[in-house]
Structure 1
Amino acid sequence: MIKITLRLATLTLLLFSALGYAQEKKKFSSIPNILQKISPDDRVDSWVLVYNSYGKGEEIKTSGGKLSYTPQFSGFNLFPSEDSFYYIAYSLGGKINYVIDVEALKKFVGKIDNPQEAAIILTADGYMVDEEFKDLAGNYHEDQSNYYLDLGKVTSKECPYQKTHYTLTVNKSNGLVTNVKDNGTYIELYNKKCANNPRLLKVEKKEEPKKDEPKKTPKRR
């Protein structure tokens, strides 16, 4: 009887631990910190992550030996509104190579080893960690099989400009996205030039006097 009770208690604790593990959401850190979580393929000898702002490069992370590389004048962004950019220089078989776009970054990351790499890979499909709205589009949780990422995406650059947030399920074993849940729009911005601006539509509904219509003179009694 004691053994059965202990087994039941153990199973209950494991169940609650698994549920807690699956439901605990964590906010992604800053974009530089996300990029520092990259763990590329073992065949890469050494690499350096560089942040370029206003033409000045800053090495954010180095791995392996010292690299002699050429500064790059273009790179990738993980957030659409950033004016600066990042690039990676790496040594492979004695040759220096560069990662300056999202597709090359995706190949450099290779197999997904953590939720940060999952977020990086998904930028190739337009998703992003929105640092201004992390509660909606910049957090994740995980269980033994999957990562669950809450990310944002620019879904309209026309009027109104808008962002939508999604929950994406990424399988840990193969890195495939197995489910995408649309959680709705969380930013919708109009400007004065928008033809469909609700404020302008209200003004247009007001009747304006016709310029060509003759003025009516009062009748004499």
Structure 2
Amino acid sequence: MKKITSKIILFAFLISGILMYSQNKKKFAGIPGILQRIIPNDKVDFWVLVYNSYGKDQEIKISGTKMSYTPQFSGFDIFPEEDSFYYIAYSSAGKMDYVTDLATLKSFIGTIDNVEEAAIAATIEGYMVDEEFKDVAGNYYEDKSNYYLDLGKLTSTECPYQKNHYTLTISKTTGAITNVKDNGTYIELYNKKCKNNPRLLKLEKKEEPKDEPKKSTGATQRK
């Protein structure tokens, strides 16, 4: 009886732990929301996050007293899209400077101060917050020591287009990725150009010309 009771208690603890973990998982905000949570590593007088889409600038966040800056014609994107990018203009010690690529973004962020910066740092390493599939590749959980991020990654840009999702453990002390768990493929897409597209292969089989039935010759000729 004691064994059965102890097993029930252990099972209850396991279930409660799983439920607590799932309840504590939070979905990331959109990409602009993540970038707005940046805390610059060095002291800056002013900085602005700008989103450029099809050649038009939109100021997403302004911190400090706004200063004039030069619009940029290239930038970074932590979820690559065509015809759009972000850049940061900032002033430090009276000098205006710009963040237009992932390397300078990493330097601008410096020490990881929050889970959003942890996500950006992971993105610089090739991972991504997938806004279309946040349940598997756009959420996180944290404890006193680590951030636990569920993120996606492009594993094939050729046919088929494929994404995998991972759980990354990131140390709050060092900002380093200490563990990566591969959770497998969550999306696999074929396009019209894919030679190995199963749908196209089926269509090709249907379109294959069939042998025409032999026509009857009618009555045989008499010699």
Q: In structure 1, what is the Cα distance between the partners aligned to 2:150 and 2:82? A: 20
- Please show how residues 128-143 of structure 1 align to structure 2 within 5 Å: 128-143=128-143
CA shift for structure 1 position 46: 2.1
Partner of 2:51: 51
8 Å Cα contact 1:129-1:137 kept in structure 2: yes
Evaluate the alpha carbon distance shift between residue 97 and residue 196 of structure 1 in structure 2; reply closer, same or farther with a 3 A threshold. same
Which residue of structure 2 aligns with residue 147 of structure 1? 147
- Unpaired runs of at least 5, structure 1: 1-15
Q: 2:11 corresponds to which residue?
A: none
List alignment gaps of at least 5 residues for structure 2: 1-15
| Equivalence map 1:62-211=2 (5 Å) | 62-202=62-202
**C-alpha distance in structure 2 between counterparts of 1:113 and 1:22, whole Å:** 24
The answer (yes or no) to whether the contact 2:41–2:107 under 8 Å persists in 1 is no
Residue pair 2:42, 2:108 contacting (<8 A) in 1 also? no
Residue by residue over 1:33-75, the C-alpha shift from the partner in whole angstroms, topping out at 9 and shown as x without a partner, is: 1111000124323211111223222221122222221011111
Does the aligned pair in 2 maintain the 1:21–1:142 contact within 8 Å? no
2:21, 2:189 → 1: CA distance? 37
Please tell me the residue identity of whatever aligns with 1:194: C
Aligned partner letter, 1:40: P
Partner of 1:7: none
Q: TM-score, normalised by structure 1?
A: 0.81
How far apart are residue 23 of structure 1 and its match? 6.1
State the distance in 1 between where 2:163 and 2:88 align: 28
1:34 alignment partner in structure 2: 34
Secondary structure, aligned partner of 1:170: strand
Aligned to 1:10: none
Q: When the two structures are aligned, how many residues end up with a matched partner?
A: 202
- Structure 2 counterpart of 1:4: none
Amino acid at match of 1:153: K
What secondary structure, in the 3-state scheme, does the structure 1 residue paired with 2:188 have? strand
Which range is displaced more, 153-162 or 73-82?
Answer: 73-82
Aligned CA-pair RMSD: 2.7
Output the amino acid matched with 1:90. Answer: Y
4+ residue stretches of structure 1 with deviation over 3 A? 19-23, 200-211, 215-218
User: What TM-score do you get using the length of structure 2 for normalisation?
Assistant: 0.80
CA deviation digits over 1:68-110, x for unaligned, max 9?
2101111111212353211101112221110011121111111
Matched residues, percent identical? 70
The answer as to whether partners of 1:119 and 1:149 remain within 8 angstroms in 2 is yes
Indicate conservation of the 8 Å contact 1:147/1:171, yes or no: yes
Whether contact under 8 Å (2:39, 2:113) holds in the other structure is: yes
